[in-house]
Amino acid sequence: MKVIILAAGQGTRLRPLTNNRPKCMVEVNGKPLIKHQLDLFFKKNIQNINVITGYLGEKINFPEITKYYNPKFKTTNMVSTLFCANNIFDGTDDILISYGDIIYNNVVLDKIITSNNEINVVVDKNWKSYWTARMDNPLQDAETLKIGKRGNIIELGKKPTSYDQIEGQYIGLIKIRADVVPKIKEYYNSLDKSALYDGQDYDNMYMTSFLQMIANNLYDLTPTYINSGWIEVDEPSDLNHTSFLNN
């Protein structure tokens, strides 16, 4: 399995912690965010780890990783960053895609690496307790995630109007099976570069928008369910909720 960690963003909401370092190098419990991920991968003997950098990418220095660079990190979003590692999508291995601003525990990683559907998406069923600890109004920040009759994800990433539209929360961890990897790249390259996608241009397409199009046109998105065991670090206050890693 190959791993791609998306770590190009500027982390503006984390300032001043990101004034002089990229978001993934902000420390949690005395260790950079990305190092938590790397250590977990090494314990599972996952060695092919690729990190796509951007903002202050020179400060992400670990001998075990292969680095790619998004030169347009200031004006692009996650999907564009992902395909800066275009050559990795050759179909020789499964690909695990991980956001660079999340930490997850051994249970979460075990569940996703043993999931073997075409597209596996980690979904936290216990999201509401985590969001409630982080903010006064969870509905304001959360995104829709709806499950269809066959158990596949039929909608994600939209703005919810009620909790009934949220059957879990996508955490930023995806596994693509090797045989469909080249088709995902081909599909992305075939999209109209002049079109808007959920209001964003091609270069600024959200990952959830891309996943939704895959669900609509290519493959089922299969949820890999977890109950906590992870955190994301978007704002300095998120550093206060590391207890959810132990759940």
Tell me the pLDDT tens digit for each residue of 191-224: 999 999 999 999 999 999 999 999 999 999 999 9
Q: Edge-to-edge, what's the strand order for the sheet holding 119-124?
A: 65-69, 48-53, 2-7, 95-99, 169-176, 119-124, 221-226, 153-156, 145-147
Q: What's residue 247's pLDDT?
A: 67
Contact between 24 and 100 (Cβ < 8 Å): yes
**Which carries the bigger pLDDT value, residue 136 or residue 225?**
225
Sorting pLDDT into bands at 50, 70 and 90, what band is 241? very high
pLDDT in tens, 68-84: 999 999 999 999 999 99
Sorting pLDDT into bands at 50, 70 and 90, what band is 140? confident
What average pLDDT does range 14-39 have in this prediction?
94
208 by DSSP, 3-state: which? helix
Instruction: Give rounded-to-5 percent helix, strand, coil for the chain.
Output: 35, 25, 35
Buried b (16+ CB within 10 A) or exposed e, 160-194: beeeebbbbbbbbbbbbbeebbebbbebbeeeeee
- d(C-alpha 213, C-alpha 119), whole Å: 12
- d(C-alpha 197, C-alpha 125), whole Å: 27
CB proximity list for 149: less than 8 A, separation 6 or greater? none
Structure tokens of 167? 């059957």
CB atoms under 10 Å from CB of 71, counted, come to: 11
Pick from 169, 208, 170, 238: nearest CA to 77: 208
Q: What's residue 246's pLDDT?
A: 86
CB proximity list for 71: less than 8 A, separation 6 or greater? 54
- d(C-alpha 90, C-alpha 75), whole Å: 27
pLDDT above 70 for 242: yes
